[in-house]
């Protein structure tokens, strides 16, 4: 832990660091490949919408059923003539979903399932879900997403600048696309819990991005008044100074979500936890990635196109070239040029002056009269 703290302090003070901005084309390429894969998976496989969005019936069997999930799924499909989704719950009961059926068909399917599963029909609980309810949930989710995006862009444009707002917007779209695409590839069912998870990750993703943007805004204040760093270099220092904080925050958030996904959904068999935990897990990881590798490099690209930043870059490079040429001609070490830069931008030193050597004359001798 002490080594991690030392590493974080050195990153924060700029003693060490990784050049994220220089390798931004690599990160852009990785993000494009992942996004294309997610879009292809979404187009080919599509989202497996839950019964809340399609309408149908949900049958819950008694506890400690000895029938396997595959067998129960086959019984449900034979009885209904529709595709069925079967989940085994932690208490041994089964949750069987059949979409696109009405009340009359529900009663018939319930009786047939009771015979096939060898249980009393009264022990099977049947619930009907109308598609209008799921449609209302979906519409409200889209409205909430749209309002959030608009308010987010307005806030970032006011608190920071419009370039940061655009970069944050692109990063959020990146996170949502990847999360939805992985949902399609994995084949998990989309439920209202999934929608809640998607809306939740927007806040986490924006939080990581704003942390880096706040550091960048502070470090680029009056950046054109110096000639040591370009905007991209300062942006890279901002990423490195907040890197450990972003990683720690993401890991702490991912641990309980991983418990829900792998232990709650996988080991304990609580299948309904998969709906929200998968979207949270993927979204949190994608949000941390986009805040470091996508949002800030995009801001640097946009800012470097400004005339003032172009002029600053030329001045910085010209000064470095002049310093390198001077070192070669005079044989001075590179550290001397760094010291020169520090003195140029540092305030005048204030302190006591050296005393004249004459004032020390006579000190240490006896002041007595001649003998």
pTM of the model: 0.72
Q: Are 64 and 208 in contact (CB under 8 A)?
A: no
Arithmetic mean of pLDDT, 242-254? 85
From CA 238, how far away is CA 23, in angstroms rounded? 15
**Lowest-pLDDT choice from 77-86, 310-319, 323-332:** 323-332
pLDDT at residue 154 greater than cutoff 90? yes
pLDDT at residue 129 greater than cutoff 50? yes
Arithmetic mean of pLDDT, 150-178? 91
Confidence of residue 28 (pLDDT cuts 50, 70, 90): very high
Confidence of residue 8 (pLDDT cuts 50, 70, 90): low
**Better-predicted residue by pLDDT, 84 or 151:** 151
Residues 6+ apart with CB under 8 A from 328: none
**What integer pLDDT is reported at residue 4 of this predicted model?**
54
**What integer pLDDT is reported at residue 100 of this predicted model?**
74
**What integer pLDDT is reported at residue 357 of this predicted model?**
40
From CA 150, how far away is CA 247, in angstroms rounded? 28
For 297, list phi and psi in degrees, rounded to 5: -60, -35
Across all residues in the chain, what is the average pLDDT? 79
Percent of all residues in the chain with a pLDDT value above 70, rounded to a whole number: 80
Q: Angle of helix 69-80 relative to helix 103-117, nearest 10 degrees?
A: 140
**What integer pLDDT is reported at residue 15 of this predicted model?**
63
Query: Burial letters for 270-279: b for 16+ Cβ neighbours within 10 Å, e otherwise?
Result: bbbbbbbbbb
**Lowest-pLDDT choice from 250-259, 272-281, 332-341:** 332-341
Arithmetic mean of pLDDT, 141-160? 87
From CA 295, how far away is CA 215, in angstroms rounded? 13
CA distances from 181 to 75, 97, 167 (A): 31, 23, 21
Query: Residue 189 forms beta bridges with which residues?
Result: 48
Consecutive H or E run containing 101: none
pLDDT at residue 337 greater than cutoff 60? no
pLDDT at residue 170 greater than cutoff 80? yes
From CA 24, how far away is CA 211, in angstroms rounded? 19
The full set of domains in the chain, from first to last, is: 13-48+133-309 (1.20.1640.10), 56-129 (3.30.70.3400)
Confidence of residue 338 (pLDDT cuts 50, 70, 90): very low
Report pLDDT digits (tens) over 96-118: 888 777 767 888 888 888 888 88
In the chain, how many H helices and how many E strands?
A: 13, 6
**Lowest-pLDDT choice from 29-43, 45-59, 310-324:** 45-59
Report pLDDT digits (tens) over 263-308: 765 555 555 567 788 888 888 888 889 988 999 999 999 999 999 9
pLDDT at residue 348 greater than cutoff 70? no
Arithmetic mean of pLDDT, 62-90? 82
């Amino acid at each position: 832990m002490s080594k991690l703290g030392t590493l974080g302090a050195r990153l924060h003070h700029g003693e060490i660091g990784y050049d994220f901005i220089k390798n931004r084309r690599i990160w852009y390429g990785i993000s494009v490949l992942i996004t294309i894969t997610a879009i292809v998976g979404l187009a080919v496989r599509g989202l497996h919408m839950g019964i809340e969005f399609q309408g149908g019936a949900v049958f819950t069997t008694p506890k400690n059923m000895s029938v396997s999930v595959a067998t129960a799924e086959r019984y449900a499909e034979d009885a209904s003539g529709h595709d069925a989704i079967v989940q085994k719950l932690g208490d041994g009961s089964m949750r069987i979903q059949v979409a696109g059926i009405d009340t009359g068909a529900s009663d018939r399917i319930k009786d047939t399932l009771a015979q096939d599963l060898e249980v009393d029909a009264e022990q099977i609980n049947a619930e009907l879900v109308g598609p209008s309810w799921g449609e209302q949930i979906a519409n409200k989710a889209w409205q909430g997403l749209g309002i959030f995006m608009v308010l987010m862009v307005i806030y970032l444009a006011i608190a920071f600048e419009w370039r940061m707002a655009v970069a944050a917007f692109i990063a959020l779209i990146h996170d949502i696309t990847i999360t939805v695409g992985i949902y399609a590839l994995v084949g998990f069912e989309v439920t209202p819990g999934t929608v809640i998870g998607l809306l939740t990750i927007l806040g986490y993703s924006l939080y990581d991005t704003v942390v880096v943007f706040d550091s960048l805004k502070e470090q680029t204040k009056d950046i054109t008044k110096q000639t040591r760093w370009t905007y991209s270099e300062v942006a890279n220092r901002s990423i490195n100074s907040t890197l450990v904080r972003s990683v720690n925050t993401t890991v702490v958030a991912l641990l309980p979500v991983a418990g829900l996904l792998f232990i709650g959904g996988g080991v304990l068999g609580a299948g309904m936890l998969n709906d929200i935990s998968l979207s949270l897990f993927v979204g949190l990881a994608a949000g941390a990635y986009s805040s470091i590798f996508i949002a800030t490099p995009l801001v640097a690209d946009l800012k470097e196109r400004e005339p003032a930043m172009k002029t600053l870059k030329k001045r910085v490079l010209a000064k470095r070239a002049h310093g390198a040429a001077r070192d070669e001609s005079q044989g001075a070490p590179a550290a001397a040029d760094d010291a020169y830069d520090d003195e140029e931008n540092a305030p005048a030193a204030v302190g006591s002056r050296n005393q004249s050597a004459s004032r020390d004359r006579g000190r240490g001798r006896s002041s007595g009269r001649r003998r």
